[in-house]
Structure 1
Amino acid sequence: MAAPPWRSRTAAFVVTDCCATRISMATVSRRVLLAAAAAGLLPAPSRAAPLRLEGLDGRGAVLHQPARRIVLGFYFEEFLAVGGTAALPRVVGLSRGAWKDWRPAHWAEYVKVLPRLAELPDVGEVELGTFSAEKAIALRPDVAILGTWQVQGLGTTVDRLAAAGIPVLAIDYHAEEPARHLASTRLLGQILGEEARAARLAAEYEAAIAAVRSRLAEVRPPRIYIELGSKGPAEQGPSYGPHMWGALAALAGGDNIGLGVINSWGPMAAEMVLARRPEVIVIAGSEWRQHASGQLMGQGVSADEARARLRGFLQRPGWAGLPAVRDGRVHAVYQGASRTLADAASVQYLAKALHPDLFADLDPEAYYLDWHERWLPVRPRGSFMLGLR
């Protein structure tokens, strides 16, 4: 919980029998301060008038701004980018598994810089069915910030939070629709009282996407296949329809072969991939070293490791004859570089993979690293987007 404003002042008032005497804060005991606060002699933390907000799922909430006690379900980097590290003490509960388990090396780097993360109560993870309304309610948050996919997955549990007086505000970077990225960022700014910083982040993202889109008006979209490579070459992993990497591929000027086949995400039949003859193949990976042959990407993953895993996918039956493999247009990307404001870099990378001559001037990985340098406390080190050579 954030310290109240008076904790940062250099002086306080101590009550005597007849008057209040000004003395140095360094000499005032915590017990005396607490007694003074209880007596109403210290000013209460200033709070803005209640603000009516609406999440991206249409659910409304009345919230004092800025929120002082927050349960955070996902989009951890966006929260820190908008609020800065100074916003972290306001987080009282975290869906830890959605960060620590999915991106373990990334989590470890953040804990080094922000050790308080490891001390935050864990409210459980929606996809595993471990999210606990009881734990969240016990933390007495002003608001729960969840992804729209988490709200959908929780079902009536969200109503239990609301009934306990905990407003739920949903944000959404999963759809990979620029308008929802912008709206989510601005909503975070309102929740955290950081509207100006949120506006700068939103404007930067909007400009980066527009710069890619402006070049694509008259070009043919090459066929592209994207797969989540956690299961490795031996098992067909999930691909994407109009959401997540499928939406990013469309923004980058690609013809996603999963569109019209996959509603959201799920495996595409191996025979269909061969029949649709993708001209570009992209395998998404992460830091999941527990998977013996899964595509490694992300924090602490070397380019040699990433490419060695990527070559394993080329051994799949029939893949040698695909245009993408024949022409060496097979790439790996970091799963953590999607569903985030930093995925403007992923759009740039996909655009360059699809239209190498048109986007020869772009350096997507430099953009990705620079974005983190400017907005977040941890600069990624590893492999985040690369080709076979």
Structure 2
Amino acid sequence: MDTVDVEGVFRAEYGRAVAALVRFLGDIDLAEEAVQDAFATAVRRWPETGMPPSPAGWIITTARNRAIDRLRRESTREARHAEAALLHAPDAPPEEGPVRDDRLRLIFTCCHPALAPQARVALTLRLLGGLSTAQIARAFLVPGATMAQRLVRAKAKIRDAGIPYRVPRDADLPGRLGGVLAVVYLIFNQGYEGSPDLCREAVRLGRLLAELMPDEPEVTGLLALMLLSESRRPARQDEDGVLVPLPQQDRSRWDHGLIAEGQALVRRCLRRGRPGPYQIQAAVQAVHSDAPTAEATDWGQIRRLYDQLMALAPSPVVALNRAVAVAETEGPRAALELVDALGLDRYHVLHAVRADLLRRLGRTPQAVRAYEAAIALAENPAERRYLERRLRELTR
């Protein structure tokens, strides 16, 4: 077995291992260090011994033993209590409370209101998804150094304020929900760029949330949004690993089971009459999935949904998506005026959209420069290959 196999286990099991240790330790740094030590040990041993029958169990057990060893070297009363908790963990009764999944529990715990909203999301992405600081920074469209500082401050806040790691009470759950939903959706988006495992984890967490909070329409909306987006994964790349934009996708390859489930959830949201950002985004995806062909897409309805989303939760990215709908309803010139006013210079999608609008307007030299800017910023290989292909088509 080689290191790549260990990396696969890391992606799949890091969050579960950290969550399991945090539950008993109540110390995020110790839990992370122990899990990282366990994976470092796996990198050394597994190529010689082979993968154990239960890789996740091996990692958690090894991390637990590493934590115990460290605690035994310390003389504080808190360390002895933590060691006792770990030693008796296998026989411990289930923790009472509304959240019984370790990973979901850790998300709610990290979304404590004492932390800034972006810090809650970033910290949970680090813990649950095992994402690097650079990956999280890309998700937030900020420099890596900025995100590293946010993570350090979040951990210091937890330590200095004595924020407890415990299952929130029922009354606390609604107040934590916004941060939790943002975490799950960012995990999904990170996976959508190239890691199906992260998408599956986000959907799994979304289903758990929907079971936990069935009367929260935004939970239902987020699950619908993820299912409808995930339904198109089989058609998103061609055989050469190049991105296939939605209008050019082979719709027979879409997962129609996920589409049916997602559309049913959207209809449930509509019946509640309490629209929110995730529900509206899910409705946009439902309109796309309703269309048998790209030409049959109801862009007028999509434009109205983005108008509603801009009223509820305005942001430059929402405005960019709205501009795409404007291009289909009013033409590329009207859309280009909107795009040029957004100021998302670090966001490769803006340059890609702008390049397409300029191409449609026949402004080839400007379109070439926009494609070059998009390529320079694009991190995803499939997207970069697609942009490079479009650039070659313009410069032949």
* Structure with greater strand percent: 1
* Structure with greater helix percent: 2
Higher relative contact order (CA 8 A, sep 6+): 1
TM-score, length of structure 1 as denominator length: 0.28
TM-score, length of structure 2 as denominator length: 0.28
